[in-house]
Structure 1
Amino acid sequence: ILELPAGALRSLLGPRRPRGRTTPPDAEGAALQILGEDSVVEKALGARFRHFNQETSSLMVHDIVRVGETGTLSGISTTNV
């Protein structure tokens, strides 16, 4: 598209990194098995599980909402740091 000469800096760059993907509605169960009540993490931490993130807070929350051509929601991703 840009008609850059061979060997231009742009031609040395690799393919774009894949970005976040939408999660199917029924995929929440897998996350709850790891982090939810009676989960693997809760069993590993024992009584400390309830207070594990007690003193942490978010510095940044970055939400991306994708809307399809027809105006319907096509994806949501959140980065929480």
Structure 2
Amino acid sequence: MKIVSPEQLSKIQPNKYLAVNIVALEARRAIAALQRGDSQTPANPYDYALQRFLEGKLQFARLTEEELAAMGRDEYDNPGRGTV
């Protein structure tokens, strides 16, 4: 696995914690696609996600009110009703 310094992450995303979360979300997406058979990513989805982030190919944007409403906002307002 490639070692990346926090300074490298902060060049792309000033908040290093958010940067780690963005990479983790992409890795999870890649793993899910592999499990479904929808994707042919390289052997290590974590390295793949990190490389995409460092190349600037991953974008992060908060959901809009309309997007939250379309997803069923009441699930987010009532955290006790979720499933694990």
**Structure richer in strand, relative to its length:** 1
- Structure 1 or 2: larger helix share? 2
Same-fold call, TM > 0.5?
no
Q: So what's the TM-score if we normalise by structure 2?
A: 0.25
Q: TM-score, normalised by structure 1?
A: 0.25
